[in-house]
């Protein structure tokens, strides 16, 4: 299966399902896993190492890459202790409701107007997992444009605020 085939058949539908329900932990984990493992398909197609693929994505969105890797591998392996900079265990995420006046945890400084999210903290940054997944998919499109010709990955890149 080519990277483009994996992306269109597996990763994009899984990520889009999560983006339709950004407060859902199961969907978040699956979206992170499929986005993270896109590296395997790119490495196989390009004949490069996974570490080289990781470096290219990290150059574009280092903290978001750490979060996607951490959530994906940490949920799969209880806590990803052998790899990655973001050690994650299910339950580390914090559900944040959409903004509503006079509701604890949904204030202007914590939530967003349109939808709930799952918040994680990494390297002092408070990040929504869905923003990180979008940044990573967009980074793949920017780092490996030849592998994803005709696939609109910039729509994900533009969805993610310029997170570190």
Token readout for 82 is: 């052998």
Q: Kindly report the backbone phi and psi dihedral angles of residue 64, in degrees, each rounded to the nearest multiple of 5, phi listed first.
A: -65, -40
Q: What is the pLDDT of residue 106?
A: 46
- Between CA 37 and CA 63 the distance in angstroms is 17
Q: Which of 71, 117, 65, 105 is nearest to 90 (CA)?
A: 71
| pTM across the whole model | 0.87
* Helices H / strands E in the chain, number of each: 8, 3
Q: Kindly report the backbone phi and psi dihedral angles of residue 126, in degrees, each rounded to the nearest multiple of 5, phi listed first.
A: -95, 120
Mean pLDDT by 10-residue block, N- to C-terminus, for the chain (164 residues)?
97 98 96 97 93 95 94 77 71 72 52 75 89 96 96 91 61
Q: What is the pLDDT of residue 124?
A: 86
């Amino acid at each position: 299966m080519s990277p483009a085939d994996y992306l269109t058949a597996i990763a994009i539908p899984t990520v889009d399902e999560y983006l339709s329900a950004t407060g859902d932990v199961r969907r978040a984990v699956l979206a992170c896993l499929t986005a993270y493992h896109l590296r395997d398909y790119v490495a196989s197609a390009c004949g490069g190492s996974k570490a080289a693929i990781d470096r290219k994505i990290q150059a574009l969105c280092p903290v978001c890459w750490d979060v996607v890797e951490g959530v994906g591998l940490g949920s799969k392996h209880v806590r990803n202790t052998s790899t990655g900079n973001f050690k994650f265990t299910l339950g580390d995420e914090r559900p944040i409701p959409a903004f509503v006046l006079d509701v604890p945890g949904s204030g202007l400084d914590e939530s967003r107007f349109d939808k709930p999210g799952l918040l994680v903290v990494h390297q002092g940054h408070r990040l929504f997992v869905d923003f990180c997944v979008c940044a990573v998919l967009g980074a793949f499109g920017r780092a490996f444009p030849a592998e994803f010709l005709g696939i609109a990955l910039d729509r994900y890149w533009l969805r993610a605020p310029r997170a570190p």
